[in-house]
């Protein structure tokens, strides 16, 4: 409803209760069109503007019908993708050649894969059309309650923040900058525990477990509610500082010693284990779930000691990174991959590129040479 209200053309919507993720972008909503029966995950960027050194041109960008979009996809007006396609996470959408239809596309440069795997077909086949029609109103009701909970939580923290700053401004004439400093400290001291409590409460103060379900299963509804209530501003605080690992631990991540986090995005914190001396660079993503065609799957991600996630690296669910392994810049580590210790993985999808000498071994070699 929101996207349609701001100008997106959505054609005939096949309501699933999970048609769109939470983070879509556009350059002009009036020139953005989504075909019927299309499902979109987080991170879609609709490009509506072509720019040069001295001019720009606005263009209509249309997505075909019956498509599924994974995460972090940039879709331009000259994309050569038609109807009934699956676009994998971080795929390079083709802009030349024939129009692709009835296939899946993965990687950069893109290559064709099956439109849907048998496991997803079997899982989705467990829900009949009649049962789907029965569960959909219940799912929409569950989503409505989630929306009300989200709004109530944001109003509560806004009210507390306004009350604190109202007092601070009243005392400004007497205390000066001290009143503002106290307000900042109180806002931080209340806001961080509040959002941590909200996220933990969304899980019933338990930890997530690996799951496999359709979007019409109450198991997924509860997980979806957790997504919405855990999307808080504290995940952007204190990046690159020693306070960051402390916040991650309180949010449920199993974190080792001496973690450097320059701005990593972790979607399900309690499904992630991070070892000692790990480096998480800016913009890297750790995502322990998938939602292809409405078939939800989640599993643990384990990052061993001394590992590095380079900027914009994307690690999917059920991945195990061995000690000292490296996921290089802008790579996409596919679900279920096992990165052997001291290896470097590059590309989309990520493949073994080479090996690195462990730091301790290099230090010993330098010491012997000296």
Where in the chain are the domains? 2-115, 130-234, 238-370
% of the chain with per-residue pLDDT over 90: 79
From the list 73, 65, 72, 75, the residue with the least C-alpha distance to 32 is 75
- In this prediction, residue 361 has a pLDDT band, given cuts at 50, 70 and 90, of low
Fold of 238-370: UDP N-Acetylglucosamine Acyltransferase; domain 1 (2.160.10)
Q: Is the pLDDT of residue 370 over 70?
A: no
At the top level of CATH, which class does the domain 2-115 belong to? mainly beta
- Produce one character per residue of 16-36: b if its CB has 16 or more CB atoms within 10 Å, e if not: bbbebbeebebbebebbebbe
Q: How far apart are CA 171 and CA 248, in angstroms?
A: 35
Report pLDDT digits (tens) over 281-316.
Answer: 999 999 999 998 889 999 999 999 999 999 999 999
**What would the pLDDT profile of 96-138 be if each residue is shown by its tens digit?**
999 999 999 999 999 999 988 888 888 888 888 899 889 999 9
Query: Which helix (H) or strand (E) is 250 found in, with range?
Result: helix 243-251
Question: Same topology for domains 2-115 and 238-370, yes or no?
Answer: yes
Distance CA(100)–CA(83), nearest Å, equals: 8
| Total-model pTM | 0.91
For the record, the structure tokens of 229 come out as 């209530």
Helices (H) and strands (E) counted in the chain, each on its own, are: 8, 30
CA pair distance 223, 229, nearest whole angstrom: 10
Residues 6 or more apart from 222 whose CB is under 8 A from it?
none
Q: What is the pLDDT of residue 317?
A: 96
237, 266, 277, 300 from 252: Cα distances, Å = 16, 11, 19, 13
* Average pLDDT of the chain, as a whole number: 92
């Amino acid at each position: 409803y929101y996207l349609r209200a701001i100008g997106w053309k959505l054609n005939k919507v096949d309501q699933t209760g999970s048609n769109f993720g939470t983070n879509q972008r556009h350059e002009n909503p009036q020139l953005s069109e989504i075909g019927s029966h299309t499902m979109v995950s987080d991170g879609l960027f609709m490009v509506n503007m072509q720019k040069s050194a001295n001019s720009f041109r606005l263009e209509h960008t249309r997505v075909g019908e019956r498509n599924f979009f994974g995460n972090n996809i940039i879709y331009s007006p000259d994309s050569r993708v038609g109807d009934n396609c699956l676009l994998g996470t971080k795929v390079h959408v083709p802009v030349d050649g024939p129009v692709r239809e009835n296939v899946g596309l993965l990687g950069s440069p893109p290559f064709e894969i099956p439109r849907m795997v048998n496991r997803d077909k079997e899982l989705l086949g467990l829900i009949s059309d009649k049962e789907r029609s029965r569960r959909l109103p219940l799912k929409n009701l569950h989503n409505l309650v989630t929306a009300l909970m989200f709004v109530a939580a944001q109003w509560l923290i806004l009210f507390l923040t306004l009350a604190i700053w109202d007092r601070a401004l009243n005392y400004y004439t007497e205390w000066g900058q001290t009143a503002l400093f106290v307000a900042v400290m109180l806002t931080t001291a209340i806001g961080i525990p509040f959002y941590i409590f909200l996220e933990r409460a969304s899980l019933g103060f338990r930890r997530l477990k690996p799951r496999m379900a359709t979007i019409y299963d109450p198991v997924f509804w509860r997980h979806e509610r957790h997504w919405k209530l855990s999307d808080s501003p504290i995940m952007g605080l204190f990046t690159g500082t020693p306070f960051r690992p402390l916040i991650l631990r309180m949010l449920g991540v199993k974190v080792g010693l001496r973690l450097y986090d320059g701005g990593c995005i972790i979607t399900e914190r309690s499904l992630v284990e991070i070892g000692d001396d790990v480096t998480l660079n800016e913009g890297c993503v750790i995502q322990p779930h998938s939602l292809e065609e409405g078939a939800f799957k989640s599993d643990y991600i384990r990052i061993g000691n001394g590992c590095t996630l380079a900027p914009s690296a994307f690690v999917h669910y059920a991945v195990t990174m061995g000690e000292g392994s490296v996921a290089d810049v802008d790579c996409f580590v596919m679900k279920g991959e096992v990165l052997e210790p001291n290896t470097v993985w590059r590309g989309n999808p990520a493949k073994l590129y080479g090996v690195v000498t462990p730091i301790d071994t290099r230090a010993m070699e330098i010491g012997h040479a000296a």
